Amino acid sequence: MALNKLALIRYKTIDNCLRLRHRKWTLEDLMEKVSDALYEFEGIKNGISKRTIQGDIQLMRSNKLGYNAPIIVTHRKFYTYQDPDYSISNSPISVGDMQKMKEAVEVLKHVTGFSSFDEMSDIIARLEDSIHAKKDNQPSIIQMESNIRLKGLSFIGLLHQAIRKKTPLLISYQSFRAIQKQDLVFSPYLLKEYRNRWFLIGHHKKSEGLMTLALDRIDTIEEMGKNSYKEYTGIDFERYFSDTIGVTKSQKDRGQRVILAINAKNAPYVETKPIHSSQQILDKKEDGSILIRIDVVLNFELEREILGFGESIKVLSPRNLQSRIKQRLVAASQLYTEKSQDETAAPLNGTEALSSLHQ
């Protein structure tokens, strides 16, 4: 149940009155105090009705807001707390809000490298204890895509803090193309996830512009003195990556107009799940196929996205992207049309093939 400011002022005022045990509070007394509070804090001059105060007391007694206030009436007209130590301030969060927080943390915890999420779980446990809302553990009803075996996830917490505190790092890194590791003096700016793989964007002391490092290719990280940190002065990263699928982009790259033809079978999928936020539908054919436009940087991730559609998509422009995709599809088809010299084993039948996938 959503609460507005006026309701909170009323509940807090009633609570403050009932905690003052030296005075007996009638309904009219509570109306007067609440009216005074509304005028003081919000400038409301027309007071409050008896029905509103009665409704507030009933709501405070209930579990709808998580208060369960032990409000009793003595001598048929005086309101007080049965428990002299009770206050709605002792219940900082409702049971309903608690459940929402727990669900939010479960969603966030799929990013296993952020230690702050573990701390949040501990905070929630203590809040639960404070309002006596402990329940039996329930199975998760949300399952996020994650890969806990991916290397480099343990660095996320350290890198997150380094970015916040503007701490330069000495990173031992080996890309897939490099023969050996190299040590990079690195100023970290941004952690970015793409398809469940994490990347660090920052500045390498011996390079111009930005550099992107894959966390699963990092070997070690050491903090350095802050005097070697280079501040980032470019455009904000939301804008920087707005024309990019994935993370591969240099500061000189700009989005280009890409025209794609999608067959009828996959058109509804692409319409409901756009390939990129810039996607526009240029034409809908009678057979159900569509023509779309996206404005993106031509990079490796774009090619992988297009190749993932297989025969369902065709690049119409630009010409260089069309040529690149065609070359990769031809190379891929040759894997199935040219018999390899070491391909001597008999092909698996359907059942054997499926079984082998699970071994």
Q: Whole-prediction pTM value?
A: 0.64
* Beta carbons within 8 Å of 65's beta carbon, 6+ residues apart: 1, 3, 11, 59, 94
Distance, in Å, from the CA atom of 69 to the CA atom of 191, rounded to the nearest integer, reads 46
pLDDT at 67: 85
Listed in sequence order, the DSSP H helices in the chain are 5-19, 27-42, 50-61, 95-108, 115-130, 156-165, 237-240, 267-272, 300-307, 319-337, 350-357
pLDDT at 296: 97
pLDDT at 353: 39
Query: Could you report the average pLDDT of every consecutive run of 10 residues in the chain (359 residues)?
Result: 75 94 93 93 89 94 86 94 89 66 68 62 59 55 72 89 95 91 95 92 91 95 93 92 94 94 96 96 96 97 96 97 97 82 49 39
